[in-house]
Amino acid sequence: MAPVTAATAGEQMHALVERLYPLCRSITGDGVRATLDIVGEYVPLQVHEVPTGTQVLDWTVPQEWNIRDAYIADATGRRVVDFAASSLHVLGYSVPVAATMPLAELRGRLHTLPDHPTWVPYRTSYYKPDWGFCLAQETLDGLPDGDYEVRIDSTLTDGHLTYAEHVVPGQVPDEVLVSCHVCHPSLANDNLAGIAVAVFLARALAEKTPYYTYRFLFAPGTIGAITWLARNAERVGGPSAAPGRPGEEPGAGGQIRHGLVLACAGDRGRLTYKQSRRGDAEIDRVMRYVLTSSERPHRINEFTPYGYDERQFCSPGFDLGVGSLSRTPYAGYPEYHTSADNPDFVSPEAMADTLAVCREAFAVLDGNRRYVNLSPYGEPQLGRRGLYDALGGRSDTKEAQLAMLWVLSLSDGEHGLLDIADRSGLPFDTVAVAAGALHGAGLIKG
């Protein structure tokens, strides 16, 4: 596998999207396993199989769905709708069907997008036994009346729900959760771009030991996240977990300190960050800072209990500090949940930009320490400690000196380096370097 550089990451992520695109994924089944097999070629995974019928919070793991073939054929045997051409052509979780019926009867089972007559919609029926086909409106308009052979070669049986984790070890056991969903079929932006960015983010973080431990979760949407939460109560500080220590944020009884959900990560729209339910979690402040200071076009949205799996992680019993990063949010672009969300819709440049923002944000998150000034009575003499001399060769010497004074002023155990950067208007990196110099001189302690 070629090494990852800033110049090649976008192209490599796009190649991964193209490779995953043909697979038929759902909330369970071999399509998820095949997806994780490919992801496992990029980063090592711990794969979990949870049996059908397992109680997970208020839900139950459903039966496993697999499909081999499906089609609608006309009187000549020609397949007018063919699952082999696109996994979107079948209503997700369709029960098996083998029948012949007139078009008038079949129409009630056909899903189209009249406003976009060349696109195929994505539709599912996970928890209610049903069957159907999705096709372009122009295809339906071209079908003459008559009988059609209908075939869905699928199984819906007791099996497993599959999800996987990858862990990048850090200097401390406290964790940052990075989650993406792996349950959608051929949709490039709405899940494959998020998977690709997560994979390459994990690889980038592993290049050096980060401060936090980073846990990457590749799971089916909703039911997968709920299953993971149910099986990780101690880690997330949820039911049956020990309460947090006095003064800690909600969810502090577990190891998860921060989190980010990745979705719709590859379209050409501007970046969008959806805040956690708290709205003032550290990840919220970090993302606001990084997006604003980078001067990238972006939006910051308030939390709503609708969207991706941030709504599971932020549910009141867990109340984790988990936000969501996307480009154009779910349902915010016409191609959403249609065949137009294909590899051409996502760009290497957009995915590379999403990856860069994640790396910048986690660098700030990792470096956001709180310190205590050990010489708080008046300004300590920095010159005799060689601190000013050490900065003499810098092009931003005055800014670096000012950063030292700000760090000394606000290192009271209550303010972190991000607080100092925000209040001073200085770059976070400059503040972090100043703190490192002061710590090395014994003037502050962490």
pLDDT classification of 98: cutoffs 50, 70, 90:
very high
Q: What are the tens digits of pLDDT across the range 186-201?
A: 999 999 999 999 999 9
Return the CA Rg of the chain: 25
Predicted local confidence at residue 250, as pLDDT: 46
Is residue 169 assigned to a domain? yes
Predicted local confidence at residue 168, as pLDDT: 98
Phi-psi region of 346 (alpha: psi -120 to 50; beta: other; left: phi over 0): beta
How far is Cα 150 from Cα 133, in angstroms, rounded to an integer?
Answer: 10
pLDDT at position 247 over 80: no
pLDDT at position 446 over 50: yes
Range 86-114 average pLDDT: 98
Residue by residue, what is the 3-state secondary structure of 46-108? EEEEEECCCEECCEECCCEEEEEEEEEECCCCCEEEECCCCHHHECECCCCEEEEEEHHHHHH
Q: What are the tens digits of pLDDT across the range 203-217?
A: 999 999 999 999 999
Give all strands of the β-sheet with 256-262 in edge-to-edge order: 46-51, 160-168, 213-219, 175-181, 256-262, 322-326, 271-274, 298-301
Predicted local confidence at residue 424, as pLDDT: 95
pLDDT at position 273 over 60: yes
Is residue 428 assigned to a domain? yes
Range 98-111 average pLDDT: 98
Burial 24-49 (b: 16+ CB within 10 A, else e): bbbbbbbbbbebbeebbebbebeebe
Predicted local confidence at residue 242, as pLDDT: 39
Helix (H) or strand (E) holding 152: strand 147-157
Is residue 184 assigned to a domain? yes
Looking at the structure, do residues 175 and 244 belong to the same domain, yes or no? yes
Of 128, 157, 186, the one marking the end of a domain is 157
Is residue 289 assigned to a domain? yes
- Name residue 270's amino acid: R
The closest alpha carbon to 106, from 143, 56, 138, belongs to: 143
Counting the structural domains of the chain, the total is 3
Two structure tokens written together for 279: 């709205």
- What CATH number corresponds to the domain at position 115? 3.50.30.90
Looking at the structure, do residues 93 and 201 belong to the same domain, yes or no? no
Of 367, 399, 425, the one marking the end of a domain is 367
**Least confident segment among 2-16, 46-60, 102-116, 257-271:** 2-16
How far is Cα 435 from Cα 424, in angstroms, rounded to an integer?
Answer: 14
Two structure tokens written together for 219: 């799971």
pLDDT at position 169 over 70: yes
Is residue 3 assigned to a domain? no
Range 339-358 average pLDDT: 98
Residue % of the chain over a pLDDT of 70: 93
Of 367, 395, 426, the one marking the end of a domain is 367
pLDDT at position 111 over 90: yes
The closest alpha carbon to 197, from 339, 358, 19, belongs to: 358
Predicted local confidence at residue 259, as pLDDT: 98
pLDDT at position 392 over 60: no
Range 63-78 average pLDDT: 98
Q: Does residue 43 contact residue 166 with C-beta atoms inside 8 Å?
A: yes
How far is Cα 70 from Cα 95, in angstroms, rounded to an integer?
Answer: 11
Q: Is 190 part of any known ligand binding site?
A: yes
Looking at the structure, do residues 78 and 172 belong to the same domain, yes or no? no
Predicted local confidence at residue 243, as pLDDT: 38
Looking at the structure, do residues 177 and 234 belong to the same domain, yes or no? yes
- What CATH number corresponds to the domain at position 34? 3.40.630.10
Q: Which residues pair with 196 in a beta bridge?
A: none
Is residue 122 assigned to a domain? yes
The closest alpha carbon to 50, from 31, 66, 28, belongs to: 28
CB atoms within 10 A of CB 279: 12
pLDDT at position 388 over 90: no
CA distances from 192 to 13, 60, 176, 327 (A): 9, 26, 21, 13
pLDDT classification of 386: cutoffs 50, 70, 90:
confident
How far is Cα 27 from Cα 61, in angstroms, rounded to an integer?
Answer: 10
Looking at the structure, do residues 320 and 234 belong to the same domain, yes or no? yes
How far is Cα 164 from Cα 187, in angstroms, rounded to an integer?
Answer: 20
The closest alpha carbon to 125, from 90, 87, 162, belongs to: 90
Average pLDDT, the chain: 93
pLDDT classification of 395: cutoffs 50, 70, 90:
low
pLDDT at position 16 over 60: yes
- Name residue 379's amino acid: E
Per the listing, tokens 């941030």 go with 310
Range 175-187 average pLDDT: 97
Is residue 283 assigned to a domain? yes
Looking at the structure, do residues 152 and 194 belong to the same domain, yes or no? no
- Our CA angle for 233, 326, 262, nearest 5°, is 30
Looking at the structure, do residues 80 and 196 belong to the same domain, yes or no? no
Predicted local confidence at residue 289, as pLDDT: 96
How far is Cα 65 from Cα 390, in angstroms, rounded to an integer?
Answer: 64
- What CATH number corresponds to the domain at position 377? 1.10.10.10
Q: Is the dihedral of CA 313, 319, 322, 324 positive or negative?
A: positive
Q: Is 337 part of any known ligand binding site?
A: yes
Looking at the structure, do residues 299 and 309 belong to the same domain, yes or no? yes
Two structure tokens written together for 39: 């992801």
Looking at the structure, do residues 134 and 17 belong to the same domain, yes or no? no
Range 267-272 average pLDDT: 97
Strand 298-301 and strand 271-274: pairing?
parallel
Helix (H) or strand (E) holding 434: helix 428-440
175 against 400, higher pLDDT? 175
How far is Cα 37 from Cα 49, in angstroms, rounded to an integer?
Answer: 14
pLDDT classification of 253: cutoffs 50, 70, 90:
low
Write the DSSP string, 263-318: -S-SSSSPEEEEPPSSS-SHHHHHHHHHHHHTT--EEEE---S-SSTHHHHTSTTT
Predicted local confidence at residue 18, as pLDDT: 98
Residue 347 sits in which domain range? Answer: 9-62+160-367
- Name residue 370's amino acid: R
Longest C-alpha distance within the chain, in Å?
94
Looking at the structure, do residues 247 and 347 belong to the same domain, yes or no? yes
Q: Is the dihedral of CA 146, 147, 149, 152 positive or negative?
A: positive
Q: Is 160 part of any known ligand binding site?
A: no
Is residue 4 assigned to a domain? no
Range 152-168 average pLDDT: 98
pLDDT at position 39 over 50: yes
Looking at the structure, do residues 92 and 148 belong to the same domain, yes or no? yes
Looking at the structure, do residues 237 and 315 belong to the same domain, yes or no? yes
pLDDT classification of 400: cutoffs 50, 70, 90:
confident
